[in-house]
Amino acid sequence: MTVYIVTSGEYSDYGIECVFSTREQAERYVALQNDNKSWWSDCWFIEEYEVDDATIETDKPLWYHYEFSIVFRTIENIQPTLKYEEPYDIHERRFHYWSKNGHLTDKDVNDVYMKYKAEKEEI
């Protein structure tokens, strides 16, 4: 199977914009985008790739990776400066979790959080 990827930009500005199953759709999309360009260097291109229907045979177990964030709110040592500002210190902590079964449950999230809390409190 062939896919047609519409790209734009170059170097650090390079990016994939859309993926199409037919060249005609990709060409139509590129023509519309190139008509609306704001800079002379803004051009959209079509790249063609073959895609396999590959099946990977392995006896190794698969692991699924999840990344999630928990937002913490604490009331310690906070003095609001604006009338409508909440008196919370808000910070976010990212966690990673690896699962063999491909599911992330509330219990898994809670276990990761409790482990984090125990490490933070040095229990």
Higher pLDDT, 4 or 120: 4
pTM attached to this predicted model: 0.43
- Burial grade of 122 (CB within 10 A; 0-12, 13-18, 19 or more): exposed
Q: How far is residue 15's CA from residue 68's CA, in Å, rounded to a whole number?
A: 25
Write the pLDDT tens digit of every residue in 65-113.
877 777 766 655 544 444 444 544 556 677 777 777 777 778 888 888 8
Phi/psi at 64 (nearest 5 deg)?
-105, 135
Counting every residue written for the chain, the total comes to 123
Write the pLDDT tens digit of every residue in 23-60.
999 999 988 887 776 665 578 889 999 888 777 777 77
